[in-house]
């Protein structure tokens, strides 16, 4: 067999192997007994829940939307009618803790402003529920530790909403980078940005609610991508706040860039609320360039390698993410995106802010939490 088709087949098979077992196992388990499907309560009915998670739960095999938690009375009847939710499975933030008595809720998915993640993850664990928490995990390392402790104390699983670990294109980049398929020396260049023109009533521009700006919301994808592409932990970093002088962002950064040094190379990262849309992950190697562009979107992801296009299909990332976590619960296995990974990323985010506040001083990451996703090994 000629080299190029041979390599293409290997890469395609590798990614299918990574994703397909989750689907096939989910389908086989779901067909055994419908009662094995786990109920998910969405906490917070904002754009992400409305446009992504709820529709994805119509496609899942191992879990379904069983309850909602909202502070907006007008939304209750809309969701009841659209998703067939029982009226008694509709909660407010005031009576949230009553979920302890509801056996139809197995998993709580926290989809709230960042500053509320810790409170509702801890309360959900105390109510005896497993938890998926959206990224970033929290607004501080301290809160991340409290969330992990609460879930362990309650003997409940905690997973972070890192959907791209369930995307075939990003999975392929992980495998090619971590295996050093195209050489041992590598450089990553990645950016996730878009332009925000109106921040009125936008909680992500509020320091108290968001904890930070573009870095917390978009840059965390670049941070994640750098680590899972190298399959290594960064050794040092520096950061620089590049928010425009006349920026509309006055509480959080509008733009920031940083560089991380890894054992195998460097990663150059940018993120912004003040630039035209950009979403790419580029891996420069000894044998050529690999690129995902767009790289961090919900769909439409495309990829190329030195041997041609990645012949992969886009998937429903959220459906796979939630089904896989349900599978973790049913099979008593560990999440590939656990709370410890969220803590690690919050640690790095704090160090980037620290460096930026100190005129881009180089920061050593000697005490970085040692958690990686190395599924290729």
Tokens (6 digits) for 357: 């506040």
pLDDT at 165: 97
Exposure string over 96-129, b if 16+ CB within 10 A, otherwise e: beebeebebbbbbbbbbbbbbbbbbbbbbbebbb
CA 146 to chain centre: 20
What gap in Å lies between CA 167 and CA 366, rounded to an integer?
A: 31
What the block records as the tokens of 302 is 């495309």
Domains and CATH numbers, the chain: 37-161 (3.40.50.720), 165-313+338-364 (3.30.360.10)
pLDDT at 373: 63
Q: What is the per-residue DSSP string for 235-290?
A: SEEEEEE---TT-S-SSS-SEEEEEEEETTEEEEEEEESEEEEEEEEEEEETTEEE
pLDDT per residue over 152-165, tens digit each? 999 999 999 999 99
The pLDDT score that the predictor gives to residue 10 is 45
Q: What is the pLDDT of residue 44?
A: 98
For tokens 């420069």, the residue is 284
Residues of the chain with pLDDT under 50: 1-10, 12-34, 376-377
Give the Cβ contact number of residue 263 at 10 Å.
11
Catalytic residue among 221, 228, 273, 353: 221
Any catalytic annotation for residue 135? yes
Active site residue 221: yes
Taking only the tens place, the pLDDT of each residue in 274-302 is: 999 999 999 999 999 999 999 999 999 99
- Angstrom distance (rounded) from CA 80 to CA 68: 9
CA-based angle 230:314:114, to the nearest 5?
65
Among candidate residues 61, 135, 156, 270, the one labeled active-site is 135
Please report the pLDDT score of residue 14 as a whole number: 47
């Amino acid at each position: 067999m000629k080299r190029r088709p041979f390599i293409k087949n290997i890469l395609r098979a590798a990614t299918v192997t990574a994703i397909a077992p989750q689907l096939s196992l989910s389908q086989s388990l779901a067909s055994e007994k419908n009662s094995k499907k786990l109920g998910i309560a969405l906490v917070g009915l904002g754009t992400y829940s409305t446009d992504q998670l709820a529709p994805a739960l119509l496609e899942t095999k191992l879990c379904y939307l069983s309850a909602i938690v909202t502070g907006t009375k007008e939304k209750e009847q809309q969701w009841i009618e659209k998703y067939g939710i029982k009226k008694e499975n509709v909660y407010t933030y005031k009576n949230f803790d009553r979920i302890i008595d509801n056996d139809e809720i197995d998993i709580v998915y926290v989809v709230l402003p960042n500053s509320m993640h810790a409170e509702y993850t801890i309360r959900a664990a105390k109510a005896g529920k497993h938890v998926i928490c959206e990224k970033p995990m929290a607004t501080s390392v301290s809160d991340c530790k409290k969330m992990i402790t609460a879930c362990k104390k309650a003997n409940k699983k905690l997973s972070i909403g890192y959907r791209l670990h369930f995307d075939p294109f990003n999975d392929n980049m992980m495998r090619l980078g971590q295996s050093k398929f195209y050489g041992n020396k590598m450089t990553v260049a990645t950016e996730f940005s878009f332009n925000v023109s109106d921040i009125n009533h936008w909680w992500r521009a509020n320091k108290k609610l968001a904890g930070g700006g573009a870095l917390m919301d978009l840059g965390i994808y670049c941070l994640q991508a750098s680590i899972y592409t190298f399959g290594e932990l960064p050794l040092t970093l520096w950061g620089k706040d590049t928010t425009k002088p006349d920026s509309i962002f006055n509480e959080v950064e509008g733009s920031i860039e940083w560089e991380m040094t890894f054992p195998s190379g460097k990663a150059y990262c940018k993120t912004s609320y003040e630039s035209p849309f950009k979403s790419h992950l580029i891996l420069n190697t000894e044998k050529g360039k690999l690129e995902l562009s767009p790289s961090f979107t919900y769909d439409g992801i495309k990829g190329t390698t030195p041997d041609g296009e990645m012949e992969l299909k886009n998937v429903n990332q959220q459906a796979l993410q939630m089904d896989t976590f349900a599978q973790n619960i049913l099979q008593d296995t560990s999440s590939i995106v656990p709370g410890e990974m969220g803590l690690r990323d919050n640690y790095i985010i704090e160090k980037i802010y620290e460096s930026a506040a100190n005129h881009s001083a180089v920061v050593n990451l000697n005490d970085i939490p040692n958690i990686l996703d190395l599924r290729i090994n």
